[in-house]
Structure 1
Amino acid sequence: MQGENYPKVYLYRRIVKAKLFIDENFAGDIDLDHIADEAFFSKFHFIRLFKNAYAKTPHQYLTFVRIERSKLLLKEGKSVAEVCYTVGFDSISSFTGLFKRLTGQTPSAYQQLQQKIKEEIKTTPLKHIPNCFAEMKGWTQNSNFEEVRS
């Protein structure tokens, strides 16, 4: 019975190895050939298996990883150009367009919003804590941490 599952586990491990390759090398010049080679699959077979495992094609996943990392860097205050090249994009305009398509806002607008949120957290921290958690901790009743909510 265990032998019947072995091929599926073996294939899954190879797909996970390719995903980890993307996670570690997303900023580099990697493409589908590089990623499929990591898993020892042909490109087209690899795309099917990867999509079945992660509900994204390898390229979609690579883009997802790059955009998520760019969000973190933008929150840290890095410039849009620096973020663009750090996460592996070759063009600021293509990075900006893709970022906007996937997040609904430009990298600059995202960064400004994140800076505004940081400032709000400094001035009104309770506003950014879920009410159920604050109530559980007793922070909403007769507390020195109470804030005037507008």
Structure 2
Amino acid sequence: MEAAYPKMYLYRRLVQAKLFIDAHYAEAIDLDLIADEAAFSKFHFLKLFKSAYGRTPHQYLIHVRLQKALELLDGDLAVSEVCYAVGFESVGSFSLLFKRVHGCTPTACLAGRRAFRTAATTAPLQFVPACFATRNGWLAENI
């Protein structure tokens, strides 16, 4: 049973580092700072983190930043404001990474999300399966 304790201790430290990234994603954090948070040497931490989460701490940080950017694009912020709000220093690199991950530029994504919201507001039945809408009496014509 003693062998389980060190693993649990290591996992807690890794989770602590992950939570640190989640809380400080918009700040200028690097591998040294995150490894210090977990109380590991940076090379040992890098190996453990990748083993536990399937990506490096930097890859996870980028993932968190891009997910937060996607959320912020639903607001009324400009792309440049979103870029800086999530911790990127360059709109160009932010846009390239965003497109690589999400398949469209932040501007195109923003336009698409706004168009979707408008369509969902003006014609919500377009987004409900016809069989479900018919069964619930939401369509004028019953099949």
TM above 0.5, yes or no, is yes
Aligned equivalent of 1:6 = 5
Q: Does 1:81 align with 2:68?
A: no
Which residue of structure 2 aligns with residue 146 of structure 1?
Answer: 139
* Structure 1 unaligned residues grouped into runs of 5+: none
Q: CA deviation at 1:78?
A: 1.1
Note the C-alpha offset of 1:95: 0.6
- State the identity %: 50
**Superposition TM-score, scaled by structure 1 size:** 0.87
Secondary structure of residue in 1 paired with 2:135: coil
CA distance in 1: counterparts of 2:82 and 2:100, whole angstroms: 17
Provide the C-alpha distance between the structure 2 equivalents of 1:146 and 1:55, rounded to a whole number of angstroms. Answer: 47
In the TM superposition, 1:1-150 aligns within 5 A as 1=1, 3-129=2-128, 131=129, 135=132, 139-141=133-135, 143=137, 145-146=138-139
The CA RMSD over aligned residues, in Å, is 1.9
Shift of 1:142: 5.6
Structure 2-normalised TM-score? 0.91
Contact 1:84–1:91 (CA under 8 A) maintained in structure 2: yes
Deviation at 1:53, TM superposition (A): 1.1
Gaps of 5+ in 2: none
Amino acid at match of 2:135: Q
* Cα distance in 1, alignment partners of residues 20 and 136 from structure 2: 52
| Structure 1 CA distance for aligned equivalents of residues 31 and 72 of structure 2 | 25
